[in-house]
Structure 1
Amino acid sequence: MKAEQVKGALEKAAGKTQDFLGELTGDERLQMEGKARQSAGELQQRYGDVLDTCATYLQRRPRATLFTLAGLTFAVAWLIKRRR
């Protein structure tokens, strides 16, 4: 697990705890904050997954990555030139 994935998992766990405490005490605001924290943790964890996938692809297929980036650069340059 990468750092972003670990941070996301910890944030999700903290959000679940906060949600549970809010439910236990009847504090709706605490519950909502816990749910928001869980969502933020999930998003951060998925971001870590994407970073991990990209790093793995880059290591396994460096030429394909280079050609893809070159093609994207060419397409953006063409679009910018066409706008003028």
Structure 2
Amino acid sequence: MKSEQVKGVLAQAAGKAQDVFGNLTGDERTQMEGKARQAAGELQERYGDLLDEVATFTQQRPRTTLMVLAGLTLTVGWLLARRRG
């Protein structure tokens, strides 16, 4: 598990605890903040998953990665040149 994934899981747990605390005390704001923290933690965990997948793909297929990056560079360069002209 990468650091972004761990941070996401921890944020989800903290958000859940905050949500439960808000529910117990009847504080809707605390509850909503907890739910928001849970959602942010889930996004962060998924971002970590994506980083992990990209790293794995890059290691397994370095030539494909270089070709994709070259294609993107050419496309962006063409679009910028077209915009100026």
TM over 0.5: yes
Query: How many angstroms apart in 1 are the aligned matches of 2:43 and 2:55?
Result: 18
What is the 5 A alignment of 1:17-56? 17-56=17-56
What is the 5 A alignment of 1:58-73? 58-73=58-73
- Deviations along 1:19-61, one digit per CA (max 9) or x if unpaired, are 0010011010110110010011011001100100000000000
Partner of 1:8: 8
Query: How many angstroms apart in 1 are the aligned matches of 2:42 and 2:61?
Result: 28
Query: How many angstroms apart in 2 are the aligned matches of 1:4 and 1:80?
Result: 34
Partner of 2:75: 75
- Structure 1 stretches of 5 or more lacking a match? none
Identical residues among aligned pairs (%): 70
Q: How many residues align?
A: 84
Q: CA deviation at 1:83?
A: 1.0
- Runs of 4+ residues deviating >3 angstroms: none
